[in-house]
Amino acid sequence: MSAVRMTLALQLVLRHTLAEPDREWFGNEIAQATGLADGTVYPMLARLERAGWLSIRHEAPAERGTERRPSRRYVRWTEQGVAAARSALAGLSGQRVHIATVLPEPSTILEAAS
């Protein structure tokens, strides 16, 4: 199981999907729930699969029925992935940075622009 770089987008996905770790999710569903673009979510899911955190399966044509859409890629947490993701999130809890401590005061920005 390899390490995964924890971006804010990844944290959103982890927090959302770990709420129901035994459920099968599909990429677009995750994108809509988190507000992230499909182009962000799908590569992230592929990285999590390569790391051993997720297993991915493609929807069978019979599951799609008469719906005219591309087949879905379903993801499910592996047992090791759930443990690794929860541990990674727990490790971040002490590292939260409040945006107010990073950004300068608005008056400073306005003065610099004058």
pLDDT at 2: 64
Contact (Cβ atoms closer than 8 angstroms) between residue 38 and residue 31 = yes
Higher-scoring residue by pLDDT: 90, 112 = 90
Higher-pLDDT residue of 25, 106: 25
**pLDDT tens-digit readout, 17-74:** 999 999 999 888 999 999 999 999 999 999 999 999 999 888 777 777 777 777 788 8
Instruction: Give the per-residue pLDDT at 90.
Output: 85
Whether 39 and 29 have beta carbons less than 8 Å apart is answered as no
What is the structure's pLDDT at 99? 43
3-state secondary structure of 88: helix
Backbone angles phi, psi at 51, to 5 degrees: -80, -10
- Please name the fold of domain 8-113: Arc Repressor Mutant, subunit A (1.10.10)
Instruction: Supply the pTM of this predicted model.
Output: 0.71
Do residues 44 and 93 touch, judged by C-beta distance below 8 A? no
How high is the pLDDT of residue 79?
Answer: 94
Give the sheet arrangement for strand 54-58, strand by strand.
Answer: 25-26, 73-77, 54-58
DSSP classification of residue 22: T
Q: What is the pLDDT of residues 87-100, one digit of tens each?
A: 888 887 655 544 44
107: tokens are 């008056």
Q: Identify the pLDDT of residue 59.
A: 79
